[in-house]
Homo-oligomer: A and B are copies of this chain.
């Protein structure tokens, strides 16, 4: 399961650098298609396959952070401390949060279940403040 062989990144090519710069210069959570389109708009078009490979390689190298959302993978800057996400199911807005206690309790329960945790994913679904106000 979830077994993908990722060859280590050897070269930070101009394409990968462009992807990295784009992600590092924003607080957004980008999917591959958005990166592809934005780079095209900026006149430094990168092939969609290269975008996918670049994102995978950059994540593997720890230069960006990947999160598997509902149906697509998104990437964000890696220079933020660990956090989880709230996803508005109406407008798609992503809110970030971090909670020491929740993190600690996850570790505790993994230990208790004899499970060697290598990662986790916590996403809260619901309505952001804007959408909630709009719907009443």
What is A's interface to B at a CB cutoff of 8 Å? 1-3, 68, 70-71, 86-92, 95, 97, 99, 101-102, 105-106, 109-110, 113-129, 132
Contacts and interface: CB of A to CB of B under 8 A. Distances in A.
A70 B2 contact: yes
Contacts of A124: 106, 109-110, 115, 117, 119-120
A60 to B, nearest CB: 15
User: Does more than half of chain A's interface fall in helix, strand or loop, or is it mixed?
Assistant: mixed
B70 A86 contact: no
Given A2-B70, A120-B123, A123-B120, A115 B95 contact: yes
Nearest to A98: B109
Given A88-B1, A90-B1, A121-B123, A95 B113 contact: yes
A127 to B, nearest CB: 4
13 contacts: A1-B89, A1-B91, A3-B89, A99-B105, A102-B109, A110-B124, A114-B132, A115-B128, A117-B125, A118-B126, A120-B123, A121-B125, A122-B122
A117 B97 CA distance: 14
Given A106-B122, A114-B129, A115-B124, 17 more contacts: A1-B70, A1-B87, A1-B88, A1-B90, A2-B70, A2-B89, A68-B70, A86-B110, A99-B105, A99-B109, A106-B124, A109-B124, A115-B126, A115-B127, A115-B128, A116-B127, A120-B125
